[in-house]
Chains A and B, each alone.
Chain A
Amino acid sequence: MAQDGDTNRTAAETALFEWFAAEAGTRAEEGSIGAQRQEAFDRFSGQGLPHRRVEAYKYTDLRATLRTLPPVAEAPASAELETALAAVPPLGGEELVPSRIVIANGRFVPEASDLAALDGAVSVRGFAELLLAADPVLGRIGTLASEVDDPMLALNTALFEDGVVITVADGATVNRPLEILHVATGSDPVTTMPRHAVFVGEGASVRILERYEGAGEAAHVTNAAIELAVAPRASVVWAKLQADGTSATHIGTTTVAIGTAARLNHLTINLGAKLSRSQIFARVDGEETDIAFDTATFITGKQHADQTLVVDHKVPNGVSRERFRSVVDDQAKAIVQGRINVWQYAQKTDARMMSNALLLSEGAEAVNKPELEIFADDVQCAHGATAGQIDEDALFYLRSRGVPKRLAERLLIESFLVEAVEGLGDDTLVPALSERLRSALRGE
């Protein structure tokens, strides 16, 4: 560490260097993963926490907002874990009974998880178990993430404690959704960096709910990363619900590769955290794909929510739709950065991106930064952005039918966000998540 005599390092960055140094012994036993960690940390340490002069982080300056970092989370004590899980609000009715994977303090807790009903076609294993067995699946970890140059993703690779690797066998249809539930225990703030990898086999079909729940005021910091490989003809419905505590910082990075004729419907719901950034890097590898990314963000107070999406169309005949919906109240700020790259050979790509923000107060702010980069000459690409207030005509229409103003406003806000949720196109998850959104709008 002596060579890193960077006097400009913040307390948070110093803590990260110390964390990495402390893990040296563990890394030595991790084989290829350990090597990736070193490479990734070198990449991260070259620039440190991203700040506003880094183009991709212009609107979300993590160096400035994360001056210090809470300590690394310890493994959860069982009593505290019980308390934390009891505080997780129910989601959906009897229709939604997922197989639950509990990630507490960044670690997979099999004994708190509910995997009894898991189909034989699905395997869920923690990194600890895989490393112990030197499982060959470890060779696939990092294959997607390493192609994306992002400092927070690199940091996760360097420091992730644990997480799960989920594989779905070729041709399997998994009926029960899989829920990856993240919580932090105790009332003291902690830093966690969970990492998951999901490999969906050819022609398989699965629904996944990635969930972050935080009840208290603790200023937890999460830097999560997920690799998702969707094999040819597979179909994936993925919903991310970010409902971290109101003082938390949430960074989540998803890297996705989509194979031939595969389908992916991805939804992000941002409700929690003081500062959040959900980023997705999607690579369309196969032809005839059909993918959709939707986002529903509702933030109030001084919340800051950044949704960053990069879709790479690398081959012809891909269809993608990106829709961002943000409702911003008080002094909150919503950032949407959407980028579609259409590579030279990706003819007949059809990509459409739309960002709409509803500003509920004078101090609310929405930043839209759409980017299209097209190197093919026979494509259909479009992007659009709007930011405005509640539609006066619609409001009057509802009121003229007897609906009081405040209720009418709420109905319109709800409908604006629920439209994005409906993009997921799943009869079980959509009602459950819509209801969750409604209760958030009611201030519950």
Chain B
Amino acid sequence: MSMLQIKNLHVNVDDREILKGIDLEVDAGKVHAIMGPNGSGKSTLSHVLAGRDGYEVTEGSIEFKGVDLLELEPEERAATGVFLAFQYPIEVPGVANMTFLKTALNSQRKARGEPDLSTPEFMKRVKAAADKLAISQEMLRRPVNVGFSGGEKKRNEILQMAVLDPTLAILDETDSGLDIDALKIVAEGVNALRSPERAFIVITHYQRLLEHIVPDVVHVLAGGRIVKSGGKELALELEARGYADFVAAA
């Protein structure tokens, strides 16, 4: 059975239907890209998966590792292995990055019935991940995302992902606001985390991220439905032709 099974998912936001019957199966070890024009429902899908308030599921189901994901609180989903890298990472003044990471990791471990990670083990894990992403000690000491540049915020998201070690990572427009160098660092960070046990859903508007994070499957989301699925070459086709045909078809 697939790690993630989304069946006929309908979602309303403020009584307006945004997702109109999504079907999606993601297997462990695979990278699925979801592409689509603005307003197609890409971010809605990522938020519904992570459990954000304000999204009403009117029909359909989401099963993750055999569990009904819609029944879980956001923190329970995280502990089960879901991670969302935010399009706009939130600034949390007054909470040091390191404290935040440790609190998050140990909260998840506690929820799974695992013991707290010792401080040296934790530091080792953070340092290994931070070095790969060119994140300085100073950034780790600073409050979460406060005063970070756009690129630093996105790198910080990937750092969290590396430390929290999810089984399903959702990247919501991680490429937005990144210059090419930052994009490469982020992509390398993601690629380093690809493994047979982990699946990725990479949500993006543009094809360029997918040059660096090469997907197994590409889906086109338009008008709240997946209107086409294919291999990585579909991304190139989209880049060449644009979304207009798909929007019209939706």
Contact = CB atoms under 8 A, between A and B. Distances in A.
Contact of B94 (A401, A403, A407, A419): A419
Interface string A400-441: 111111011001101111110010000000000000000000
A66 interface: no
A121 interface: no
A398 to B, nearest CB: 7
B135 to A, nearest CB: 16
A396 interface: yes
Interface in B229-250: none
A417 B94 CA distance: 8
Contacts of A404: 75, 107, 111
List the 10 closest pairs (A to B, CB-CB), nearest first.
Answer: A415-B94, A402-B78, A402-B108, A401-B104, A399-B74, A397-B90, A415-B95, A418-B94, A399-B75, A419-B94
A397 B86 CA distance: 8
Contacts of A394: 90-92
Contact of B160 (A392, A401, A418, A419): A401
A393 interface: yes
A393 B53 contact: no
Contact of A401 (B73, B91, B100): B100
Contact of B74 (A400, A407, A417, A418): A400
Interface residues of A, number: 25
Nearest to B143: A415
A220 to B, nearest CB: 32
B74 A396 contact: yes
Interface string A160-203: 00000000000000000000000000000000000000000000
B105 interface: yes
Contacts of B95: 411-412, 414-415
Given A396-B74, A402-B164, A405-B75, A411 B50 contact: no
A18 B75 CA distance: 62
Contact of B92 (A399, A415, A417): A415
Given A398-B104, A415-B143, A403 B93 contact: no
Contacts of A411: 92, 95, 100, 103
B78 A399 contact: yes
B36 interface: no
A399 B73 contact: yes
A389 to B, nearest CB: 13
A402 B105 contact: yes
Interface in A336-393: 391-393
Interface string A210-241: 00000000000000000000000000000000
A408 B50 CA distance: 16
Contacts of A392: 53
Contacts of A414: 94-95
B102 to A, nearest CB: 11
A402 B111 contact: yes
Which DSSP category, helix, strand, loop or mixed, fits chain A's interface?
helix
A394 to B, nearest CB: 5
Nearest to B84: A400
Contacts of B84: 400
A142 B50 CA distance: 62
Contacts of A418: 94
B51 interface: yes
A422 B142 CA distance: 13
13 contacts: A396-B53, A398-B100, A398-B104, A400-B52, A401-B78, A401-B100, A402-B164, A403-B107, A404-B75, A404-B107, A407-B103, A407-B107, A417-B94
B115 to A, nearest CB: 15
B103 to A, nearest CB: 6
B73 A405 contact: yes
Interface in B9-54: 50-53
A397 B89 contact: yes
Interface in B86-122: 86, 89-95, 100, 103-105, 107-108, 111
A402 B75 CA distance: 4
Nearest to B74: A399
Contacts of A396: 50, 52-53, 74
B109 to A, nearest CB: 9
A403 B104 contact: yes
A34 B133 CA distance: 70
Nearest to A401: B104
Interface in B41-77: 50-53, 73-75, 77
B220 interface: no
A422 B86 CA distance: 28
A103 B103 CA distance: 40
- Scoring A394, A396, A412 by chain B CB atoms within 10 A of each residue's CB, the highest score goes to A396
A422 B95 CA distance: 12
B129 interface: no
